[in-house]
A and B are shown apart, each in its own frame.
Chain A
Amino acid sequence: MNETVNETGGAGPSHRSVEIGVAVAMAILALIGIYGSTKVGIGWGAEGPRAGFFPFYVSLIVLISCVINLATIIMASSSGKIFAEWGQLRQVFSVIVPVAIYVALVPYIGMYVSSALLIAVFMRWFGRYNWLTVAAIAIIVPVVTFITFEIWFLVPLPKGPLEVWLGY
């Protein structure tokens, strides 16, 4: 990835390289779509157009658009714009990582306990609150959610060992 420095002095990946990355990623999805469509048949069957007919042409258009977008980016002279500073990207990843862990935990320890953990981690890590405030918010929010969803609106959410232990 090209390193570019912007006017404010912050360094980060260039906007151009990310643009290329997004276009390539979309093109790959389009190729997957084309491959999957050909497997179920893109031609004319007994009931008219077959199942792959529509997704095939749609994916083909995505692929063509991506090629045009790529060509536009490559033809244009580099603007020197950066996508985001590394520090900013670190911020973004410091959200993505805990959320990914959160999502992975939900099926095992339940929605409520993992939500409490996510809120606690966030408040302690980014907000630097004292443990008392952290604990208060991290417990109140899931409890209120529990009352609203499970009891008032009767929408069941994933539960883990704690809820089982409490008898739900």
Chain B
Amino acid sequence: MLEDIGNLFHGFAVVAQPFNLALMVLGIVLGVIVGVLPGLGGANGIAILLPLTFSMSPTSAIIMLSCIYWGALFGGAITSILFNIPGEPWSVATTFDGYPMAQKGKAGEALTAAFTSSFVGALFAVIVITLVAPLVASFALRFGPPEVFSVYFLAFCSFVGLSKEPPFKTIASMMLGFALGAVGLDQVTGQLRLTFGFPQMLNGFDFLIAVIGLFGIGEILLTMEEGLSFRGKLAKLNLTVVLQTWRELPRYWLLSLRSCLIGCWMGISPAGATPASFMSYGIAKRISKRGHLFGTGEIEGVVAPETAAHAAGTSALLPMISLGVPGSPTAAVLLGGLLIWGLQPGPLLFTEQKDFVWGLIASMYMGNIVGLIIVLTCVPLFAAILKIPFSVIAPIIMVFCAIGAYSVHNSTFDVVMMVVFGIAGYFMKKTNYPLAPMVLAIVLGDKAEEAFRQSLLASQGGLSVFWSNGLVSVIMLLGLIALFWTVIQNTWMKLRGTKGLRPAE
């Protein structure tokens, strides 16, 4: 424990180097821009900028990329409140009360509340990471292949049980991700598979291409279909408003704490920031005394989803750094970055790459503080970006997507694949197939398969190896509970004879 604190301070020293600080500010500014622009989000924003970090040291690279992530989390709130357009899916719930507040002329209060509660949520999650991640990692060092596979199993089952999309659509899109991930060289036998003789398929489908296509191009197509027009509210954010709102906010400490806990729970299990923000909003609405006024511009309706979204977005990195299992598509892209920089994600990071891990954790603290200051002072600037018409922004975003896709492997075939993924993403999104499990399956496919096959090899093909000891049985059981969560919940409700509370759509 004491050693961890020492490491953390060492991490702060690494982050405080001028070069790293500059990258941090750059990352946050880029991140807010990415979060504000439609068609660019945390995941594909980082995927596009990843090639720029190939020549940096891993620590500097992760500082810049994770700061893009924090910036994107902050940026989503700006568009939700001022323009009623969620820049990111997790800020949809923020529009419910944020935009009405802006309409009443309280945009400043809403923004301050959103940024501050984002900061609180993130800070809470970072503290959880600092305390829990080293323990999880040291525990996970004892994992053999069956345990590793059971962790993947749990992660993917959580998607099925916790997502609001129909379970078989989640399974179809997830398994398709695994199949796409399997294309190319087989890691275990070194044999080629599913390439059908096309040399371009040798390297398989890179998930970065999938991310840029599915989330970037797909999102632009959706925006084109909706025919977006921006009619924003004015943002007046001065020190008086900020201080006034800050004086008011401590009143909602219980709400904040609850939202933090929901966020962390949903972030660590890979349900992600979006359901966390909805769940937190729904519960706040049910519990709050002013719940019936929600939707008309209540500050609590901004605090709840923003806190939870940031807590979830941040805690999604916990399983990523301690187990090598990312909790969200953005965490998956960061994990992909780790592999490119030559680091092996997983529990060994804490012992072998101390500088890197603690630099990352320290940058989470610093990045969120710097981020809060930047967004509070620069809101009008960022809001001005949305004034640029979509007919100018759209082709520029597509050019950047193409550049990002190309520079992953210097291959023009990847750019073609990006467009294919984009069109697929558009149709999948319109027909409610979740994209996050697919992306995570492409990333983790090789590792999950390797763990699975090694386990089977040890047991000579018997599936009983996944129930061979207490630890692996517990994780597998949790996975099965997560998988059948909806069924279990419905049965339980029926047994108790009550009608299930329908979550607010």
Contact = CB atoms under 8 A, between A and B. Distances in A.
Interface of A: 15, 18-19, 21-23, 26, 29-30, 32-33, 36-37, 39-40, 44-45, 47-55, 58-59, 61-62, 65-66, 68-69, 72, 83-84, 88-89, 91-92, 94-96, 99-100, 102-103, 106-107, 111, 115, 118-119, 121-123, 125-127, 129, 137, 141-142, 145, 149, 153-158
Given A22-B433, A84-B225, A99-B398, A44 B55 contact: no
Given A88-B227, A92-B224, A102-B402, A55 B453 contact: no
Interface size class of B (residues with CB under 8 A): 35 or more
Interface in B29-58: 51-52, 54-55
A65 B172 contact: yes
A58 B457 CA distance: 19
A53 B453 contact: yes
Contact of A49 (B169, B192, B403, B457): B457
A61 B175 contact: yes
Contact of B171 (A65, A95, A102): A65
Contact of A18 (B172, B179, B431, B456): B431
Contacts of B454: 48
Contact of B175 (A19, A62, A99, A154): A62
Contact of B55 (A66, A89, A153): A153
A32 B419 CA distance: 21
Contact of B193 (A36, A44, A119, A155): A36
A126 B391 contact: yes
B55 A45 contact: no
B456 to A, nearest CB: 6
Given A53-B453, A65-B169, 18 more contacts: A19-B431, A26-B176, A29-B179, A30-B179, A36-B196, A40-B191, A47-B188, A47-B457, A49-B461, A51-B186, A51-B188, A65-B171, A66-B172, A91-B225, A107-B412, A115-B402, A129-B392, A157-B407
A72 B166 contact: yes
A155 B224 contact: no
Nearest to B453: A49
Given A47-B188, A59-B175, A68-B168, A54 B461 contact: no
Contacts of B370: none
Contacts, number: 184
B211 to A, nearest CB: 17
Given A62-B172, A88-B225, A119 B399 contact: yes
A18 B430 contact: yes
A103 B402 contact: yes
Interface stretch (B265-273, B309-317, B421-429): B421-429
A157 B411 CA distance: 9
B221 A103 contact: no
Interface SS of B by simple majority? helix
B179 A118 contact: no
B221 A95 contact: yes
Contacts of B431: 15, 18-19, 22
A122 B52 contact: no
A92 B172 contact: no
Contacts of B394: 95, 122, 126
B202 to A, nearest CB: 14
B193 A52 contact: yes
B207 interface: no
A156 B55 CA distance: 13
Interface in B379-416: 389-392, 394-396, 398-399, 402-403, 406-407, 410, 412, 415-416
Contacts of B416: 103
B199 to A, nearest CB: 15
Interface in B107-122: none
Contact of A51 (B179, B189, B220, B457): B189
By CB atoms of chain B within 10 A, which of A39, A45, A55, A96 has the most? A55
27 contacts: A15-B431, A22-B433, A30-B176, A40-B191, A48-B188, A48-B456, A49-B461, A54-B178, A55-B178, A61-B175, A62-B172, A62-B175, A62-B176, A66-B172, A84-B430, A88-B225, A91-B225, A96-B221, A102-B398, A118-B395, A119-B392, A123-B395, A129-B391, A145-B399, A149-B403, A149-B407, A153-B51
A55 B193 CA distance: 9
Contact of B194 (A36, A118, A121, A126): A36
